[in-house]
Amino acid sequence: MSERTLFIAGNWKMNKTATEAAMILSTLKGEVAQFKGKLNIAICPTFTALDRSVKTAAETNIKIGAQDISVHASGAYTGEISTSMLLDLGVEYVIIGHSERRQYHRETDKLVSEKAKVALDAGLLPIVCLGETLEERETNKTSEVITTQIKGSLAGLTADEMIKTTIAYEPIWAIGTGKTASPAQAQEAHALIRKLLTDTYGVEVAEKVIIQYGGSVKPDNSSELMGQTDIDGALVGGASLDAKVFAELIANAL
């Protein structure tokens, strides 16, 4: 996997209260302490659980991320969360452009790129998500969709900003469905993403960018997926909600 450090993050979506999050993290930090220095680990709980999560994970090898941000710094934007609010809590990562945000909240590539830029300007590390639907894959549009999303969602980022940005390739048809892209299918998509980055930023930058795979990643498939040349980690949904399962997934991936 070249010099890139494996990065496995858990996206808890709209699950777990602050109390429940603290309980899971209390168990998880003991389970993954043995992996310190071997990979980067992050958990992205709900907004209401961020404060407790940061405090529970303090001085461990688990970083905490948010699931979204606003492009606005402050103001009359009811329900929105700014970068300064997240930084004040000690949050380090933020997921941007997840397929569920794109689908249910009509987020566009343009908005995703604006959020990525806002995050980077503030000092947060973005995890930018992209991926095709089942219909798009079945009609051989995967390459076209990925190309469009990469160009649009990362528009305006400098080379230095790109190196700080994680990309999460998540085929929408594999998210929460139990279906997983085969290692070969995932590698093909990741290789295309790396090529697109090379075309825009050059080989040196492209080789440093972490590209995660997301979509029903579990302990029994993490090893083979992470073993692919251009797969540098995972954005994990359901399997990250159980501390022992998530730790097993990580152990198998190393």
Query: Mind telling me the catalytic residues?
Result: 98, 170
E-strand ranges in the chain read 7-11, 40-44, 62-66, 93-96, 125-130, 166-169, 211-213, 233-236
**Cα distance between residue 5 and residue 41, in whole Å:** 10
Sign of the alpha-carbon torsion through 14, 16, 22, 27: negative
User: What burial class does residue 124 get, using C-beta atoms within 10 Å of its C-beta: 0-12 exposed, 13-18 middle, 19+ buried?
Assistant: buried
Nearest to 36 by CA among 54, 55, 60, 53: 60
In the three-class reduction of DSSP (H, G, I as helix; E, B as strand; rest coil), residue 169 is classed as strand
Q: Under the phi-then-psi rule, with left for phi > 0, alpha for psi from -120 to 50, and beta for the rest, what region is 73? A: alpha
**Cα distance between residue 10 and residue 53, in whole Å:** 13
**Cα distance between residue 107 and residue 103, in whole Å:** 7
